[in-house]
Amino acid sequence: MRLADTISAFWRSSIRRQLIIGFALASLGLMLGFGYLVLKHQREALYRFSNERASELAHTLSISGTSWALANDLVGLQEVVQGVVRTPDLQRAFFLDRHGEVLASTNPDEVGFFVTDEVSRRMLESTSMEQLVLLNDKNIYVVAHPVMSEGRQLGWSRVEMTRVTVHANLSALTRVWFQFVLFTVLVVSLVALLLARRLTGGLDHLMQVASAVERGWGKRRADVGRADEIGVLARHLDRMLNAIEQQKKVISESEAKYRFLADNISDVIWIVNLRTNRWEYMSPSVKKMLGYSVDEIMEQPMEHTMTSKSYADIQGWIEERSKLFLSGLDGSHVYTNEVEQVCRDGSTLWTEVTTHFARNEHDELILLGVSRDISERKKAEEQIRNLAFYDTLTQLPNRRLLLDRFNLVISACKRSNRYAALMFMDLDNFKPLNDEHGHDVGDLLLIEVARRITGCLREVDTVARFGGD
């Protein structure tokens, strides 16, 4: 399995290698297949030619030896046989009578002997008047031809020829063919190498450009002036890089604008991860609002940046609203709340917090918010409240607040079945004092009277200025 993986990795790691090996294997396969067919055809042709030579020789011996056989001249028969002894690939040629006795042979020692092998017996038993193929294999071809005279069989002429020359020719042809195959594979591999170098040279250039862009060299371009598909690809890549560069410029300008806004507005923009309860982002304007630097506030848990009461309130509505967000019921709802936050020096200030739930790139629930300092607004609201319900001179509740508290006391008495007391007080000779010493002295008197009366009563009691004095 490892060998297969190694071969696969070696094959897939380089297009140039794939082209060279692919062309080489394809050409080798084609040449070997074609060579096999050629050699097969050549072998059949040589075998056929060898068989025809043996058959022609047997036929010639049969005709040449007929007269000598009729005359029973064994010397003449031997001379006929010796005349073909130098025939290439001839292993043996001899004449036989009808009983299997060797009358003449290229091997004189066989004369006078009888043939007894199985092949020869089948030949002698045959009544055919045609030529017989006794043996035909890859090493030898044996053929016998009847010796006839006026329709009467006198015997047989038999020829045995080897395939030595055929095999030698086939071996030589095979060697030449293998040399040609190797030469062809080398030439094809060389052509594939040149083609692969031209093809992968452009791809290598594109890879270098891509690597340079990945390292931040955004000005690198790929076009090498080629008119083929790689050139077209390079020009498309250049156009893509130009578009990316333009988009990066637009994004950079947009980021600069947003960063300028985040750095210079008085509101604080922040993101908190609700899973970790940690800040993910905090705008630099937090320094002006709370006194913390961005690095310092990022290290602080959310609960350390606000009062305990505000944190408890926030945790309550975060739990409630996050469930709505996760269920998909709140849509993209934006919430606004007032939070009392703790500054770096320990003081507190009121902020108006606008929040929205979302998910970050890790699919974690986050809370996006903008905090605005509303301390001045809270002071103004308090001043408005004081003007509406308190006397500006004595800081005692005015007629409106007195009537409100009077209604509350009446309701409480009805519930508890108890009584309450109401006392009206007036300052004697206040007008002459004002006239004689001026309104400033009269105001001081009213302030002092209010202070003394308040000091004589309980905190649950109400002292109000109902009229002028």
Q: For 244-265, how does the pLDDT look when each residue is reduced to its tens digit (9 = 90+)? A: 788 888 888 877 777 777 666 7
pLDDT of residue 332: 65
* Region label for 321, one of left (φ > 0), alpha (ψ between -120 and 50) or beta (otherwise): alpha
| Cβ atoms within 10 Å, residue 27 | 19
Q: Does domain 390-456 have CATH number 3.40.50.620?
A: no
pLDDT band for position 222 (cuts 50, 70, 90) = low
Report for 11-20, 126-135, 372-381: range of highest mean pLDDT:
126-135
Residues in the chain: 469
Taking residues 406-435, what's their average pLDDT? 78
Whole-angstrom distance, CA of residue 199 vs CA of residue 377: 73
What is the three-state SS of the chain? CHHHHHHHHHHHCCHHHHHHHHHHHHHHHHHHHHHHHHHHHHHHHHHHHHHHHHHHHHHHHHHHHHHHHHCCCHHHHHHHHHCCCCCCCEEEEEEEECCCEEEEECCHHHCCCECCCHHHHHHHHCCCCCCEEEEECCCEEEEEEEEEECCEEEEEEEEEEECHHHHHHHHHHHHHHHHHHHHHHHHHHHHHHHHHHHHHHHHHHHHHHHHHHHCCCCCCCCCCCCCCHHHHHHHHHHHHHHHHHHHHHHHHHHHHHHHHHHHHCCCEEEEEECCCCEEEEECCCHHHHHCCCHHHHHHCCHHHHECHHHHHHHHHHHHHHHHHHHHCCCCCCCEEEEEEEECCCCCEEEEEEEEEEEECCCCCEEEEEEEEECHHHHHHHHHHHHHHHECCCCCCECHHHHHHHHHHHHHHHHHHCCCCCCCCCCCCCHHHHHHHHCHHHHHHHHHHHHHHHHHHCCCCCCCCCCCCC
Structure tokens at 444: 């001081």
Instruction: Supply the DSSP string of 189-229, one letter for each residue.
Output: HHHHHHHHHHHHHHHHHHHHHHHHHHTT-TT--------SH
Whole-angstrom distance, CA of residue 204 vs CA of residue 330: 53
Q: Are 55 and 131 in contact (CB under 8 A)?
A: yes
Taking residues 347-371, what's their average pLDDT? 87
**What is the CATH architecture assignment of 266-380?**
2-Layer Sandwich (3.30)
Q: Is the pLDDT of residue 71 over 70?
A: yes
Higher pLDDT, 168 or 463: 168
What are the phi and psi torsion angles at 333 (to 5°)? -65, 140
Higher pLDDT, 396 or 294: 294
Q: Is the pLDDT of residue 13 over 70?
A: no
Whole-angstrom distance, CA of residue 218 vs CA of residue 212: 7
For 121-138, letters b (16+ CB in 10 Å) and e give eebbeeeeeeebebeeee
Q: Is the pLDDT of residue 426 over 70?
A: yes
Class of domain 1-217: alpha beta
pLDDT of residue 460: 72
Taking residues 354-360, what's their average pLDDT? 87
Q: Is the pLDDT of residue 136 over 60?
A: yes
Q: Per-residue pLDDT tens for 15-51?
A: 777 778 888 888 888 888 888 898 899 999 999 999 9
Structure tokens at 445: 């008197």
Question: CA triplet 165, 171, 176: central angle to 5 degrees?
Answer: 125
pLDDT of residue 317: 85
